[in-house]
Amino acid sequence: MYDKNKILIGLAVFVVFMTYPFWNNIGSAAYQRPELEKPKNAKDCVESVEFMRAEHMAMLNEWRDEVVRGGEHEYHSTANHQVFQKSLSKTCMKCHENKDQFCDKCHATVSVNPYCWDCHVDPKGEKK
């Protein structure tokens, strides 16, 4: 075997780098779901909490296309059979008023940057 030492050193460096995320996080605290500020003036969301937690991004994308391209503004909830207007700012943000204390908390923790608020207005005001 030619260049045995070089290969072994290279392999060792590769393994160290590949496993960096694992050993770097040894001892650090496990992921914790952030505490969200719940709406004070409403009890039920348009769907169950579990559904919203997992699917809200897909649902908002569907609402977007249905409203803008199809002109369908009404959402018929399967959880409580109420009718809601499909709107981020007029429905979601009317209850979840505080983007910093609701949306941003999870998004920041899991490090995602949705671009909803590049255009849609956060009712509690923009950070200047």
| Contacting residues toward another protein, per CB under 8 A | 64, 68-74, 89-90, 93, 115, 118-123, 126
State the alpha helices, DSSP H only, in the chain.
4-18, 20-24, 49-68, 93-95, 103-109, 116-119
Q: What is the DSSP letter of 83?
A: E
Of the two residues 21 and 70, which places its CB atom closer to another protein in the complex? 70
The CB-of-65 to another protein minimum distance in angstroms stands at 8
Distance separating alpha carbons of residues 125 and 65, to the nearest angstrom:
26
Of the two residues 73 and 105, which places its CB atom closer to another protein in the complex? 73
Of the two residues 48 and 98, which places its CB atom closer to another protein in the complex? 98
Q: Which residues contact 66 (CB under 8 A, 6 or more apart)?
A: 72, 86
Note whether 67 and 91 are within 8 A (CB).
no
Distance separating alpha carbons of residues 76 and 83, to the nearest angstrom:
5
